[in-house]
Chain A
Amino acid sequence: MATHDQTHDHDEHDDHHGVTSVLTYVLVLAALMVLVVITVAVSFTPIPAPWATVIALVIAFTKVAIVMYFFMHLNHTDSSLVWLFAGIGFFWIVIMMLITLGDYFARTSIPGTI
């Protein structure tokens, strides 16, 4: 392509990923802030023991999913490998927590031991 065509070149190489709008980023930040406020409010609400933690973790994982999808540009990536590793990181923690804590929940305690 010897001819110098500024507009065409710009379109061809424009954004290896798409560009997210400012509004989207602002809405994402607002949503994250709201979720933080909800988390704090829930903490100050009397809720029976396991549920308060469960709710807090569900909100935390939601925030993580939002950050990963919008801020970390998963919404614009063409690469399945990136999605694969993102998913691996996310589910690795979930599986580790679920299985380990599941074991503890299912135990009946022997006096003198944890």
Chain B
Amino acid sequence: MAQQAEQKLLEPFFRDLKQQSEVNTLGMWVFLVTETMLFGGIFLAYAVYFLNYPTAFTAASHELNLVLAGINTAILLTSSFTVAMAIRSIQVGNKRLLLVFLIVTLILGATFLGLKAFEYFEEWEHNLIPGINFMFPEPALASKAQLFMGLYFAATGLHAIHMIVGSGVLTLLIYRAWQGVYHEENYDVVENFGLYWHFVDIAWIFIFPLFYLIDRASQGG
């Protein structure tokens, strides 16, 4: 019975299921390296301008909502935990727990996006949107602070798009899991989705200190 199931899953050009799984996983890792280059470019641009305009960048960073971002960081780390638990569940054959953990992951991801949207709205209210309504308390630093905000929206916007795409795919996975498609021999898709989700978490692990935690010791009040 298990052997028949294996025959159905195995593509003819693979030696066995193990090799097929490894190749699927490798494919996702290769993609993640390209994603690293994508985010890496933005981080490098940010690093260069941070080195050149430290005062303006520090001042601009203090305008960001650290509490919201801190909560979002905790949410994303927990969602990486729940997706890892989802994969573990199907590895031991627990289809119900797989579904539960995937749903919790989606809820956490959606919460992250909701808080992010609110944070963007707040930034709009505080006149921090470059080119649209940007005004800055210290006029001498304004143009450089606007550059900071541009980089901030580029990095977090790109990250949010990745979260949205990930959440969309996750919804599809939840539907498939609910249909009972996944089992101990067939969970490559869930595993590789997990890799993508962890990568997006890693991107945020860099975004959070780089943009929100510049020398908060010097922040007045």
**A residues adjacent to B (C-beta < 8 A):** 1, 4, 6, 9-10, 13-16, 19-20, 22, 25-26, 28-29, 32-33, 36, 39-40, 43-47, 49, 52, 56-57, 59-60, 63-64, 67-68, 70-73, 77-79, 81-82, 85-86, 88-89, 92-93, 96-97, 100-101, 104-105, 114
Contact = CB atoms under 8 A, between A and B. Distances in A.
A1 B1 CA distance: 11
Nearest to B31: A85
A4 B217 CA distance: 67
Contacts, number: 147
B148 to A, nearest CB: 15
Interface of B: 1-3, 6, 17-18, 21-22, 25-26, 29-30, 32-33, 36-37, 40, 43-44, 47-48, 51-52, 54, 66, 70, 73-74, 77-78, 80-81, 83-85, 87-88, 91-92, 184-185, 191, 194-195, 198, 201-202, 205-206, 208-210, 213-218
A19 B91 contact: yes
Contacts of A100: 44, 47-48
Given A20-B88, A67-B201, A13 B2 contact: yes
10 contacts: A16-B22, A29-B80, A43-B217, A57-B209, A60-B206, A67-B198, A71-B84, A71-B194, A77-B22, A89-B36
Nearest to B213: A43
B215 A52 contact: yes
A52 B26 CA distance: 36
Contacts of A32: 77, 80
B190 to A, nearest CB: 12
A92 B36 CA distance: 9
**Majority secondary structure of chain B interface residues (helix, strand, loop or mixed):** helix
Interface centre among B6, B29, B54, B70 (most CB of A within 10 A): B29
B88 A1 contact: no
